[in-house]
């Protein structure tokens, strides 16, 4: 369900799932989604390789 804001006499629907630049709620939603994907990827590497993320890439 989209949020609605009233501008003048018209009602404008705001797309909370859209890609927008800057410090907007949409950008923060996408930022959180990408962070969750990165966390799951790092955890998956540790589970399946038996090494930590930095050891897997040869950094440590």
Q: Which DSSP string do the residues of 1-60 spell out, in sequence order? A: --EEEEETTEEEEE-TTS---SS-HHHHHHHHHHHHHHHHHHHHHHHHHSS-HHHHTT--
The angle formed by the CA atoms of residues 19, 23 and 29, to the nearest 5 degrees, is 50
More confident residue, 43 or 60: 43
CA dist., res. 57 & res. 40, Å (int): 16
What would the pLDDT profile of 8-56 be if each residue is shown by its tens digit?
555 556 777 777 777 888 888 889 999 999 999 989 988 998 888 788 8
- Give 43's strand partners: none
The domain spans of the chain are: 33-60
pTM above 0.75, yes or no: no
């Amino acid at each position: 369900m989209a949020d609605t804001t009233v501008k003048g006499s018209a009602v404008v629907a705001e797309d909370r799932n859209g890609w927008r630049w800057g410090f907007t709620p949409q950008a923060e939603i996408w930022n959180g989604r990408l962070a969750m994907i990165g966390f799951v990827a790092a955890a998956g590497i540790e589970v399946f390789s038996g090494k930590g993320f930095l050891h897997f890439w040869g950094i440590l």
